[in-house]
Chain A
Amino acid sequence: MRATNFNRLTPYLFLAPALVIMVLALLYPLGYMVYGSFRDWDPSQSLGESEFTGLANYVTLWNDANFRESVGVTLKFAVSVVSVEMLLGVGLALLLDRNLRGMSILRTLFILPMMIAPVVVGLVWRYMYHPTVGVFNRTLKSVGLESVDWLGQHALLSVIIADIWQWTPFIFILSLAALQSLPRSALEAARIDGATGWQQIIYIKLPLMMPVLIVTGLLRLIDAFKVLEVILVMTEGGPGLSTEILALRISRTATEFRELGVAAAMSNYLLILLMLLTLFMLAYNRWQEYRAAKAQRIMEGGV
């Protein structure tokens, strides 16, 4: 009896070290943050010394116009980069899904931006956007056009362009992989059924790619909500609050305004938002699996 109990516990014993590390590395900081978000907490204090304020931080934020503006900027940024990136990435994949000479080199070139460190991307774009010596304005000038105040008047658009440049390749390679794993004979059948190139894309390719596209889009969306470095380097959130996305506001609240409790509450808002997105993604996956399982059952049931 004892021996069997011990045997049954053995696997958990082996799992225990990993569990301890998980708790320490993942849950402790998270719990710390949640705990801190209920307190009026200054960096000079230890968390224990800070005063408990309940939901005050959350309520303040909810009514804070600047915070709301920041959420708005973040939403605008995330939604616009992801939709443009999806369009471009999927479009490019559809265009380049063929055996052209030098295709593999081209593909490698396409995914280069993704491999560059975000800080470097920010710096490169900041210099390219420079009002006088930047390559964009110099080019505009050389063809006799007015120069554009990229990081001033059009700051949000400029950071959106930079993000699109960096992350379209991500969508592109995943879409290309999805495209190339489509059943070839179904596409051939569509050609014989009389589908033109466009009709093949709309009726066959896109619907079959959809599961991959939805997951890719959600992953990208979650990532876009957390973007920090590129914008920090390019605009530092300015001018005004025009490019102050949430991640940036959180970091500034913590370091410049020294309000750790408020920053923690902000992080929690972001976390809840992302959690909802992730749950949606998981639910979608579960639904897919459920459908596959149902199909399997029906198949086994009747011949």
Chain B
Amino acid sequence: MPKIKLENLSKRYGNFEVLHGVDLEMADAEFTVLVGPSGCGKSTTLRMIAGLETVSGGEIYIDDRPVSQLEPKDRDLAMVFQDYALYPHMNVAKNMSFALRLEKRPKDEINKKINEVAEILGLTDFLHRKPAELSGGQRQRVAMGRALTRDSSTFLFDEPLSNLDAKLRTQMRAELALMRQRVHKNMIYVTHDQIEAMTLADRIVVMDAGRIQQQGTPEELFKKPVNKFVAGFLGSPPMNFLKASVVQAGDKLYLEGEGFRLLCDALTQSRIASLSGSSVDIGIRPSDLLFDPSASSDNAIDINVVVSEYVGAQSVLIGDCSGQKVMVELKSDTPIALGEKLRFRVESSELHLFDTSSELAIS
């Protein structure tokens, strides 16, 4: 499979720059997910790779060959669109075979290919239906099938699941993961849904405001976010942020904020030794807060629980710690009562620390 590389890629609409020099290299047959909030430039990046948007600056390389001036059809890729983009006047078989028919491939070959793909996607009974006669999930499959019938080396997905309802989305996500194991190709997938990103990706690229914030494996990004944005974007429920200042008392360092005073362990101490007296943002994952009424106040925070969202085995508590909102994820059978001040233990090794002004992680 060819290697795809973006070099200092930028996009301007008039004088307005939406993408500021993106550098990205995708390994062979890797599932890369571009994720970020609306307007972060992820779809624009994908559409530039596809050749549907012109490149304002920088270059796209496919196998070391610059392609930014090439037509989409000369880039050897297939794409699945958010609204499926099926041809309304053609039936499923015609939709899936359009590219092959344009290439004037032999009829037998086309039919064989279509039946093969229809089999994989469970579309065999629908080959003669028009898109209007299909449900959302089926249309999504046809769109996927249209991409699969082509022997392109690269697949592009532009938010393919966001038009489906929640249940179908989960199902299609699993099917995608399955397909991903069978199809050995480059895949670039755009989504705003961090769960899709976490579950599908070999490599996640988090984007915001036209820049790449961080890229790496889902685990890397979850455990070691480089800044507050990435930390807050990945993970559900999202990370809690609390304001604190670094306070020295004797030879010990404390992270002290309104309503809590956490003692730093040796490792954390070495991380923030130089910051004594200044303020930092603390990030705590909701799952890192453990209900423990007997914990010492040196490594616990007290939270006034206001709402409990029951999601089955787990519940999400929403509360506040002296005016700052905090979410906690815990087992539903934990005996807690709403409206009470409860103590949650947190290990200082689990804390994420961020510089207040630059929002970069302190390591």
Contacts and interface: CB of A to CB of B under 8 A. Distances in A.
Interface of A: 183, 185-186, 188-196, 199, 203-204, 207-208, 292, 294-296, 298-299, 302-303
Contacts of B129: 298
Contacts of B134: 299
Interface in B122-136: 129-130, 132-135
A189 B133 contact: no
A193 B102 contact: yes
B85 A183 contact: yes
Contacts of B99: 193-194
A196 B72 CA distance: 10
A303 B87 contact: no
A199 B87 contact: no
B102 A194 contact: yes
Contacts of B138: 303
Given A195-B73, A298-B129, A189 B135 contact: no
A194 B103 contact: yes
14 contacts: A185-B82, A188-B50, A188-B52, A188-B81, A189-B81, A190-B87, A190-B98, A192-B51, A192-B72, A192-B77, A193-B102, A292-B132, A303-B137, A303-B138
Given A191-B52, A192-B78, A185 B85 contact: yes
Most chain B CB neighbours (cut-off 10 Å) among A183, A207, A208: A183
A194 B79 CA distance: 12
A186 B133 contact: no
Contact of A199 (B72, B79, B89, B102): B102
Contacts of A183: 83, 85, 88
A183 B77 CA distance: 21
Range class of the B interface residue count: 20 to 34
Given A185-B82, A193-B102, 14 more contacts: A183-B83, A183-B88, A186-B87, A191-B71, A192-B77, A192-B78, A194-B99, A207-B89, A208-B88, A295-B133, A296-B132, A298-B129, A303-B137, A303-B138
Contacts of B71: 191
B40 to A, nearest CB: 20
A138 B102 CA distance: 50
Given A194-B73, A208-B88, A208-B89, A185 B103 contact: no
Q: Which A-B residue pairs are the 4 nearest by beta carbons? A: A185-B85, A194-B73, A193-B99, A189-B85
A186 B137 contact: no
A296 B133 CA distance: 7
Contacts of B98: 190, 193, 195, 203
A195 B134 CA distance: 25
Identify which of A185, A195, A292, A302 gathers the most chain B CB atoms within 10 Å of its CB: A185
Nearest to A195: B102
B147 to A, nearest CB: 9
Interface string B105-146: 000000000000000000000000110111101100000001
Given A191-B73, A194-B102, A204-B87, A185 B133 contact: no
